[in-house]
Structure 1
């Protein structure tokens, strides 16, 4: 199992202003704005001050030729650029409408996105004329006349077609219901099939109704991570985990006997004690000489061999669940920039993607060649839905399709504090976020496991204890509605006080007490 390192700080949620762009915007517009400012257009060179009263609430350009705000500043539009007292107002272009509303100036671009002037720049917002802000979770059309998503975009449904800010939202038709749920827009067609709005070229991906709950079986919710090379004996581990109230133990190994042997010993002892081993197969995309596998088939063969070897060794001791690979989407040969959250398939390396796909398919097929009834999981990090969706659909990062699909029995995710709240996970470092377990439940239709979670290594033990309590409370309350089968704290013993809650057999307080106290008060039933 990879030792923990603090995730790069670039994923901390960003706030602040946005450029007033239409479909992205770019550097070229600034030069155009400068040219327009120098053009001498009379409409753009409004009087710097006026003694006239502010414009009436709701005044808009067009049709009005100008707007006067509460400070007496005159606002005009020329060539899609908004001017304040004859000077370009911040970074703006492609402005279709400007409006004075409840004492503030708003601009709408040609994509239907709204921004509010804050005195120095533009802040993304909803159309201020729409009441209530972001629609309540679970809002549907019909019966609501529209949905406002968390970015402020307005969704409407007209004659079975969904529109976003007045523009048809990708390819959609025969829509009977539009649903705002868990921070995502879902559509149901007249045949009853659901689709979710996703960060992919196709935009809509098939899924199930996200509101349907399928509670996992009780008995494996509280889990713990460990390592095969601990000095604790398997019998000591049994005592430690039972004292804590944990029923499942995640431990990794390669197919090498030096690692697989100790894990087999743990599984043998756990079997008689009624505890479960969640076996992590530590197979990557590199050959023994440290170079990348030469092809997808080579990666597949290596994965198949490892999966079969590990399953063959552990199956006799009651192991039924395997996690295939560890944080492979975060390997620098796979993700282009590891400060990205992984929301888009384009965040990943198109050339090396077949190696990831190959080794994952190989491990799953290898396990099932020995143990057909085994459950295989694939883990992701941060907000890697760009990776999970591409693997599930058989797509490349460049959006090409038709490749082998990777299908797993358990979706597993790592969720460290710096990644963000998994129930409101931000996209590539920006708020607002969405409910990732709900999305995965609807998309993949399999149980969800948070196979690693914790705060950062720099935190005090008091902070860690509070974090453990708050996170377990959030996980526990969502376990049945979000199909969360297990949450596994990282880690039992890290050899220091950075992540572990024990050190050489001694509890680290107060984090140990927070963990065990919560379990005692909240049974896994």
Structure 2
């Protein structure tokens, strides 16, 4: 597992550029710093038109450089010369130090010094405040500068309809997503350019159950005894320990011994049922049913062995959406279903379904989760709704009791997570809470393996604070640091029982100062 994580240092960070809501105001000339130049600049600015001046009704506009702008025959002129290519102009605007024009179709353009760039009417302002609704607002502006309105119960983006909407009673901008509510009360969230999926009101505050927030990952083959791990957990203030196994005697036997010790100590053992999409190394299962049958039998064996010792929480599969046979390009965020391999998708779905059903066949009330990485809502939505990556539906749904996610630093801020196409970030826990209606767990988090101890310590303190603030409003039930002992300083807090001082101290100090109540 440790070697598998070295890809984190190589994953390309997702970046991007946004369309600006106001894009004019560029200067056409150089500036100097002499007294004469400053005086001349001040004089020109004083002579400029009043902010907000428009043609019509004004006959001309004077900008901060003293240039005179006019509108003649539907074209904009600067000092008597047509300003690049423009026609059918109905309005010229001087606003915020920039010159804009509006075409007959309503689109605004801003002058950048040499050409016109499409933009919004700058008088509308920038991105709307989180929580803005229509009504009472008359419009919403998203992070890309799109202008959203509701007319006669139908939603419009930049004057174009978005999917099939009607009888809309509320449009909401929240967590950097667009949501709407119909007159029947059902909420929907926009997941791509035109697809609305059902959800609950994302503004509903949902607090996590106290007592399991602080967690950490370990491995079944540690040299520590179960009693030593219990002692370490208590000294660190941790309540939850994530460890993986399958149905083989070695890994399962070790986890059973841990379960016995944890039950006696009143701690929570969170078991990763670590089956995947391969029936043997490098060989995928032949079909969805083959994957389902094998993982169902194996998960049932795991649950039967652990149920007597108080284990009630299971994670079914580890980063399966990021297997090379499943994700088409590992550097994508996974926010679109088409990011994933359509042909191999059923095998992963079968493995996940099999593990969940296997656990439930032994422990019907056990809680099962399926984990995702980066911004894999394209995968989680498709699995939840029984969809294929190609958009076809009607397939078996994968339903879980806990949404579990991995959030390494290279993936980005989980509360403002980037999307495919270098799009703007969104609040992933808020989205998942509204879409799936179950608790949210971050089952692995850390910075990269190349980080110094000092950097890692600061990252631990900062991330803990972010997660801790959200646990009472976004139903974040647990955050499980990766890892207790990595055998070196790449990830772990300890090496053979000796603490790695700076990250260990940062971890324990935060836990001590911020009780899980």
- With normalisation by structure 1, the TM-score equals 0.84
Give the aligned partner of residue 190 of structure 2.
197
Q: CA deviation at 1:127?
A: 3.5
**Equivalent pair of 2:385/2:397 in contact (CA under 8 Å):** yes
Q: CA deviation at 1:158?
A: 1.4
**Residues 189 and 508 (structure 1 numbering): CA distance in 2 closer, same or farther, change over 3 Å?**
same
Give the aligned partner of residue 157 of structure 2.
164
- What SS class does the counterpart of residue 365 from structure 1 fall into? helix
Question: What is the aligned counterpart of 2:296 among 298, 304, 314?
Answer: 304
Deviations 1:90-137 (A, max 9, x none): xx9xx9998664333558899988775656899886541203x21111
**Equivalent pair of 2:246/2:299 in contact (CA under 8 Å):** no
Q: CA deviation at 1:170?
A: 1.0
Are positions 1:246 and 2:247 aligned together?
A: no
**Equivalent pair of 1:260/1:310 in contact (CA under 8 Å):** yes
**Equivalent pair of 1:414/1:453 in contact (CA under 8 Å):** yes
Deviations 1:15-74 (A, max 9, x none): 4779xxxxxxxxxxxxxxxxxxxxxxxxxxxxxxxxxx989966889999x999766599
Give the aligned partner of residue 420 of structure 1.
412
**Equivalent pair of 2:162/2:193 in contact (CA under 8 Å):** no
Q: CA deviation at 1:315?
A: 1.0
Give the aligned partner of residue 483 of structure 2.
491
**Equivalent pair of 2:484/2:493 in contact (CA under 8 Å):** yes
Give the aligned partner of residue 148 of structure 2.
155
- What SS class does the counterpart of residue 329 from structure 1 fall into? helix
Question: What is the aligned counterpart of 2:263 among 271, 277, 299?
Answer: 271
Give the aligned partner of residue 21 of structure 1.
none
Distance 1:75 1:291 in 2: 71
Counterpart mapping for 1:461-500 below 5 A: 461-500=453-492
Give the aligned partner of residue 25 of structure 1.
none
Question: What is the aligned counterpart of 2:12 among 10, 13, 23?
Answer: 10
Give the aligned partner of residue 523 of structure 1.
515
Question: What is the aligned counterpart of 1:369 among 361, 369, 374?
Answer: 361
Distance 1:167 1:111 in 2: 12
**Equivalent pair of 2:18/2:143 in contact (CA under 8 Å):** no
Question: What is the aligned counterpart of 2:316 among 318, 324, 329?
Answer: 324
Question: What is the aligned counterpart of 1:212 among 204, 213, 221?
Answer: 204
Question: What is the aligned counterpart of 2:123 among 125, 129, 138?
Answer: 129
Are positions 1:507 and 2:509 aligned together?
A: no
Question: What is the aligned counterpart of 1:142 among 135, 143, 151?
Answer: 135
Deviations 1:331-369 (A, max 9, x none): 111111111001111111111111111111111111101
Distance 2:55 2:291 in 1: 60
Q: Which residues of structure 1 form unaligned runs of 5+?
A: 19-52
**Equivalent pair of 2:18/2:424 in contact (CA under 8 Å):** no
**Equivalent pair of 1:300/1:358 in contact (CA under 8 Å):** yes
**Equivalent pair of 2:242/2:272 in contact (CA under 8 Å):** yes
Question: What is the aligned counterpart of 2:276 among 284, 289, 294?
Answer: 284
**Equivalent pair of 1:349/1:397 in contact (CA under 8 Å):** yes
Deviations 1:153-212 (A, max 9, x none): 1111111111111111111111111111111111111111111111276x1100011111
**Equivalent pair of 1:114/1:152 in contact (CA under 8 Å):** no
> If you compute each CA radius of gyration, which structure gives the higher value, 1 or 2?
2
Give the aligned partner of residue 348 of structure 1.
340
Root-mean-square deviation over aligned CA pairs: 3.6
Distance 1:185 1:110 in 2: 28
Q: CA deviation at 1:150?
A: 1.7
Q: Which residues of structure 2 form unaligned runs of 5+?
A: 21-46
Distance 2:392 2:55 in 1: 43
Give the aligned partner of residue 336 of structure 1.
328
**Residues 117 and 361 (structure 1 numbering): CA distance in 2 closer, same or farther, change over 3 Å?**
farther
**Residues 518 and 291 (structure 1 numbering): CA distance in 2 closer, same or farther, change over 3 Å?**
same
**Equivalent pair of 2:269/2:313 in contact (CA under 8 Å):** yes
Counterpart mapping for 1:377-456 below 5 A: 377-428=369-420, 430-456=422-448
Question: What is the aligned counterpart of 2:181 among 177, 181, 188?
Answer: 188
**Equivalent pair of 1:325/1:360 in contact (CA under 8 Å):** yes
Distance 2:17 2:329 in 1: 21
Counterpart mapping for 1:219-238 below 5 A: 219-238=211-230
